[in-house]
Amino acid sequence: MKVIMTGGGTGGHIYPAIAIADKIRRKHPDAEVLFIGTERGMEKDLVPKSGYEIRFITVSGFNRKKLWKNFKTALDLAKGNHQANKIISDFKPDLVIGTGGYVCGPVVRAAHKKGIRTFIHEQNAFPGVTNKLLEKYVDKVFVSFSESKEYFKDQSKLIVTGNPIRKSFLTCGMGNSRDKLEIKPNEFVLLCFGGSLGAGKINSTMIHVLEAFNGLPDARVFFITGRNYYHKVLESIKEQGIELSGNIKVLEYVDNMHEYLSSSDLVISRAGALTVSEITACGKAAILIPSPNVTGNHQYFNAKVVADKGGAVILEEKDLTEEKLLGTVMRLKNNKEALNSMSAASGKAGRMDATDVIYDHLGI
């Protein structure tokens, strides 16, 4: 059996594809799985690191602000269509699964035209443009949130699956993870991250929280800045004359996010679909700060799904201040009952069988 996975740009599109591929491999050890992405996206590094072969095509997104740039987009699309056709003709897959990002368009359409079974997965509560356009070319549309069903036309194709997350997030326990990270059982753990590349506003606001927690007994803070902001954050801390105590760790990036997330009591993060799914799968209370720089404000809708069920507090970036963030953190830290209630609600909002449900509907 041969399977093509396609999706890219950010980890939010790539990690679900890897999770689905891993499930297929566990069920069919002899299956050949090929990824198709772009050389500009994170898939270039993440996919080979996960043990899969990847090939690249040329594709770029539509520019809504600078329309003249879309001439190049059209040229890229024509080139990408040709490249996708060739890869599919050479590889001869039995099915193609897209998990979002512009790269999915040429690949899924080419497979459909060749009569190959096709599927897409939508991670966000507010669907992306590419997946809405691809709906008519696929056999099934897997969606993470029931709230996103209204944005698709053919309801008969829709299956609510949840978001596929890596097995490590489902199997790690708090006690074991804290042992690995050398965290004491009684310590309050605050985890902050803004995605693999980081989030500037969260990072700058978070420094005030670091200062408040610096040297605080029985409290630990893990602040993952993202690769784009790490040195800038360290410089800001130095400029403000803050000498960090041992209970504060500022990190650029971590590969074992499942251990940090499992160890935490409270999480501060963006509200990308994958992030929200991992937080809820681990049953963690969260302060979610949706990115305002995404299509259709979809991160707000992702956050709202969990917040409406009591598992998270939403702080919109336009309202984010040092005082408001610290005040929200301290209110939850000092109210164990409220924190536990949020954690329980978060866990109920999560779904841990997404890869199983998707696999069961692939017909393989």
Domains by residue range for the chain, with CATH? 2-164 (3.40.50.2000), 168-349 (3.40.50.2000)
Instruction: Write the pLDDT tens digit of every residue in 225-256.
Output: 988 899 999 999 999 999 999 999 999 989 89
Q: What is the pLDDT of residue 150?
A: 93
Nearest-5° Cα angle at 151, 148 to 154: 105
Q: What is the pLDDT of residue 196?
A: 61
User: For the whole model, what pTM was predicted?
Assistant: 0.85
92: left (phi over 0), alpha (psi -120 to 50) or beta: left
Residues of the chain with pLDDT under 70: 61-71, 196-198
Closest-CA residue to 233 (of 287, 276, 193): 193
Q: What is the pLDDT of residue 200?
A: 87
Q: What is the pLDDT of residue 65?
A: 63
Q: What is the pLDDT of residue 170?
A: 86
Q: 269 pairs with which residues across the strands?
A: 193, 288
Q: 267 pairs with which residues across the strands?
A: 191, 286
